[in-house]
Structure 1
Amino acid sequence: MIFETERLVIRKLLMKDLESFFELESNPKVLQYATGDVKTLSECENELQKLINKYDKSINDFWIYAIVIKENSRFIGTVALVKDEEGNDEIGYRFIERYWGNGYATEACGGLINYCQEIGIKKLIGNVVKENKASEKILLKYGFQKIKEFVSHDIGLPETKYVLNL
């Protein structure tokens, strides 16, 4: 376990997560503000294995963890802590669509912020596609400040960059 919240456990990804990981990564609605590119089961299997292999690397700036419901250990999404191009710690999260609207993203984000404080991270970045009002609302709730608007080079959508000093 990496950390937990009232209802959630954040842990390393496992190959047994493949079916749920595929449900997450094959849904165009989930990916509309990320890559936009849905993945096949085979692509998800390869991606999941790559993410798992990163846990053992001595130098790793790309941490993706599973979010599971504490009560039943059901995989519902992923949370990320990755270095951006400028070396900042950037947070991110994705949830399987049927778990949207339950406050899990807000809860996971709060837990991730607490975890980052515990491990000594001093500043977090969050990039949000302008249309993604739900994610913007979460970052603002936790005190993130808007610092820049731009068009992302990877998905070509207008985004806003937020910062939170811990």
Structure 2
Amino acid sequence: MATTIQTKRLTLRTVTEADLAAFTLMANNPQVALPAGFHPVKSAFEADFLMRQMLHQRWLWGIVQTETDLLIGTIGLYGRTGKAGLAVHGERDIGYMLNEDFWGQGYMSEAVQAVLAFGFSKGLRVIHGSYFKDNERSARIFIKNGFQFDHQIMHAQSDFFAPGKTELFYQLTQADFMIATTPID
């Protein structure tokens, strides 16, 4: 169960079975699913299966408009695995998706800032993230929050995941986050 996080307009909370219809709207939309790193679901069964993978993850939240109690997205801090296949402690990957109807309204920036603050308050040293080169919205979120470019890869045309796409990888240390989010007087 995820710890509930409250922001100005959002409640970040555990995803529940009652969220299935709203989750399915996002998960079967190629504009949302592909940039989030998965193929759009083709059936209610697939959406239910994907959502159930999320239900009991500790640091995965549904993004809910507080005013309407509507699930509009998901965001999570996912465990990292090192080269030897072992968990990397003190580091996580951030991943998110947002219903297309809510793009351009600052909701994801608000959720990302809250989740980054939460992660660093729990002792994380580094939070990693990636996005595809053509995803300008995620690029702005990463830059705004102080993420630093690490490397990029070009997925092979034969890859199941993102064939032929360039993926940019970033990382954010707690110190860089504090600098990026400290108000200037």
TM (normalized to structure 2)? 0.80
Q: Is the CA contact 2:36–2:97 (under 8 Å) kept in the aligned structure 1?
A: no
> Could you tell me which of 15, 33, 40 is aligned with 1:38?
40
Partner Cα distance (1:68, 1:160) in 2? 28
Partner of 1:29 in structure 2? 31
Residue 132 of structure 1 is matched in structure 2 by 135
5 Å-filtered alignment, 1:38-117, equals: 38-39=40-41, 40-55=43-58, 63-86=59-82, 87=88, 88-117=91-120
C-alpha contact (below 8 Å) 1:28/1:36 kept by paired residues: no
Asked whether the 8 Å contact 1:110–1:142 carries over to 2, the reply is yes
CA offset at residue 36 of structure 1? 4.7
Amino acid at match of 2:167: E
**Cα distance per residue 1:28-86 (max 9 Å; x no partner):** 1112323351112111112222321445xxxxxxx432000111211100001112343
1:96-143 deviations in whole A, cap 9, x for unaligned?
A: 110111100111111111111211111110111111011011110111
Change in Cα spacing, 1:103 to 1:128, as seen in structure 2 (3 Å) is: same
- Residue 155 of structure 1, aligned match among 158, 162, 165: 162
Cα distance in 1 for partners of 2:38, 2:75 equals 17
Segments of 5+ residues of structure 1 without an aligned counterpart are 56-62
Partners of 1:30 and 1:96 within 8 A in 2: yes
Amino acid at match of 2:4: I
Cα RMSD of the aligned pairs, angstroms, is 1.6
Please give the secondary structure, in 2, of the residue aligned with 1:32. helix
Q: What TM-score do you get using the length of structure 1 for normalisation?
A: 0.89
CA distance in 2, matches of 1:73, 1:19: 13
Aligned-partner Cα distance in 1 for 2:12–2:144: 21
Report percent identity of matched pairs.
Answer: 27
Structure 2, unmatched stretches of 5+, are 83-87, 175-185
When residues 138 and 54 of structure 1 are mapped into structure 2, their CA distance, relative to the original with a 3 A threshold, is closer
Which of 27-36 and 70-79 deviates more?
A: 27-36
